[in-house]
Amino acid sequence: MLTKFKWLSMALKNATRNRRRSLVTLAIAATGTAAALLGGGFALYTYQSLAQASARDTGHLVVAAPRFFDGVENMPLEHGLPEPEALARELLARADVKRVLPRLQFSGLISNGDKSEIFLGTGVDATQEFVVKGPFMKREAGELLDGQPGKGPGVVIGKGLAKILSAGPGSMLTLMTTTTNGSLNALDVTVKGVVSTGIADIDKRLAMVDLATAQSLLLTTKVSSLSVYLRDIDSTDGAAAALRVAHGDRLDIRTWLDQAVFYKSVKGLYDRIFGFLGVIVLVIVLFSVTNTLAMAVLERTREIGTLRAMGATPGEVMRVFTLEGLALGSGGAIAGMLLAGGVALFLMVSGFQMPPPPGRTDGYPLVVAVSAPMYAGAVVVVALLSGAASWFISRRAAHQSVVEALGHV
């Protein structure tokens, strides 16, 4: 009775009998595995980037008054959040909360005296807002809001809006909007800076002012919502559940994922595309290993008969071929894993840029994420499929009669 080690040694020796065929099989398995890992890594990096962009834009949690997210208001801030300072202090007392930023959403007309355009404005905490935006808001010219009193009201506008109004840092503009009591109000502001979000449609309407400026323009002390930034994005669901238990009767709490329509659309599309491509790659690898083992079984039929005549059981014969398939599949998968890791490292240091996607003005780096669970999963799947194919191919030869196997030509 052979030990498990000797069975494995026999399978490895059989795999190296026809080295050219085995190397071709390993190359196909490695290339297929690397292609699947690179496609999955690109999708994973895209998911991570979009998740960070969405979370930085809205906050990991958005806390607002009931009915705010319905989007139906007869008057500005009808469903605004009163007394935001006290609630912000309460939220900041939580250990998992890093920042709480008030935001006031409003809209109206912005004019340079000769031309007027519709704008979508946001009143922000100027000392923290641009910190959390990070790389997802690029400063094109001038400075950002400093939030310091005594310098007059300032505004930061999008690149597209600045172009339409022929405005730049130092330009004087007028904001006009409807107040919370339904009257019109206007305010002269100085352009402090010009920014770009990378999305052309947003840049044509973007205007950001200090929160106090926005509240004075709308004649209110309310804010639209509080954006809660956590220390870890993975704790979003737990923090949301805890806040709903504590404030569910008087507040409406949404996570960044609830607001991330673009993220969910892209993820759904990429899941289907790369999932389909992954299945195709696995089928190619499976057929390659199956063909190699089928040829090996056909060539060694008389050898199988000899083993059977010497007392080997069909199960032992099938074990040899299954281990051989596992060796070819796992060897190719490990080589593919190393190849994918090398390509991912090269792309990380090379700085290749992808062209801007539809609707955006800026490209993004071509980076492929490396995920240990994804790599380990790919190796296991390819190895198990190869072993299963080998077991299936060797069944017929292992169970045929000894006389027929010895007489095979």
pLDDT 10s digits, 91-128: 999 999 999 999 999 999 999 988 999 999 999 998 88
pLDDT in tens, 346-389: 988 888 888 877 767 777 788 899 999 999 998 898 888 888 88
Query: What is the number of other CB atoms lying within 10 angstroms of the CB of residue 275?
Result: 13
The whole-model pTM stands at 0.81
Summarize the confidence of residues 294-323 as an average pLDDT.
77
Looking at residue 287, its pLDDT comes to: 84
pLDDT in tens, 246-282: 887 788 999 999 988 888 988 998 899 988 988 888 8
pLDDT in tens, 168-194: 998 999 999 999 988 999 999 999 999
Looking at residue 19, its pLDDT comes to: 77
Looking at residue 407, its pLDDT comes to: 62
**175 token code pair:** 């904001």
**Where residue 340 falls among pLDDT bands split at 50, 70, 90?**
very high
Looking at residue 117, its pLDDT comes to: 93
Q: Is the pLDDT of residue 229 over 90?
A: yes
Strand-pair partners of 121: 106, 207
Name the percent of the chain lying above pLDDT 70.
93
Place of tokens 């790389």: 135
Query: How do the domains of the chain map onto residue ranges?
Result: 4-53+263-406, 66-250
Q: Is the pLDDT of residue 14 over 80?
A: no
Q: Within 13 Å and on the Cβ side, how many CA atoms surround 34?
A: 18
Query: What is the number of other CB atoms lying within 10 angstroms of the CB of residue 31?
Result: 18
Q: Is the pLDDT of residue 1 over 80?
A: no
Lowest mean pLDDT among 55-59, 74-78, 212-216: 74-78
Residues ≥6 apart with Cβ < 8 Å to 303: none
Residues ≥6 apart with Cβ < 8 Å to 122: 103, 104, 105, 106, 207, 208, 209, 214
354 within 8 A of 365, measured Cβ to Cβ: yes
Looking at residue 102, its pLDDT comes to: 94
Provide the 3-class DSSP secondary structure of residue 75: coil
Q: In this structure, what are the phi and psi dihedrals at residue 255, rounded to the nearest 5 degrees?
A: -90, 170
Q: What mean pLDDT, rounded, does the chain reach?
A: 85
